[in-house]
Amino acid sequence: MAAGGVNPSQLLPLELVDKCIGSRIHIIMKSEKEIVGTLLGFDDFVNMVLEDVTEYESTSEGRRISKLDQILLNGNNITMLVPGGEGPEM
C-alpha cells in the first residue's frame, strides 16, 4: 500500500461511489432496466444525478434503448453499481 493510500478492502461503499463522480457508471435496476451514464452526484440514500444517459429496457418485443440528457435516479430501485461499466452486452 502506497503512503497516504487506502487499502481497497477498507473502502466503504459510499466512498467507492464518491470516487466514481465524473466517470461512467453502469447501474442495474430492480426492474428490467439497466442504465449507463456519467455520475454527477449522489446523496446518502444513493439517489443519483447522471448525464449523457443510455437506458436499456428488456421488453417482450426485445431490448429498447433510450437516450437521455440528464436524470435523477431513485437509489431505492438500484440493485448493483458497476464503476466504469459500459452497459449490457448486445
Residue 3: pLDDT band with limits 50, 70, 90: low
Domain layout of the chain by residue ranges: 25-83
What is the spatial distance between Cα 47 and Cα 17, in angstroms, rounded to a whole number? 11
- Mean pLDDT of the chain, nearest integer: 89
* Domain topology for 25-83: SH3 type barrels. (2.30.30)
Tens digit of pLDDT for each residue in 49-90? 999 999 999 888 989 999 999 999 999 999 999 998 887 775
Q: Strands 78-83 and 24-29, how do they pair?
A: antiparallel
* pTM recorded for the entire structure: 0.83
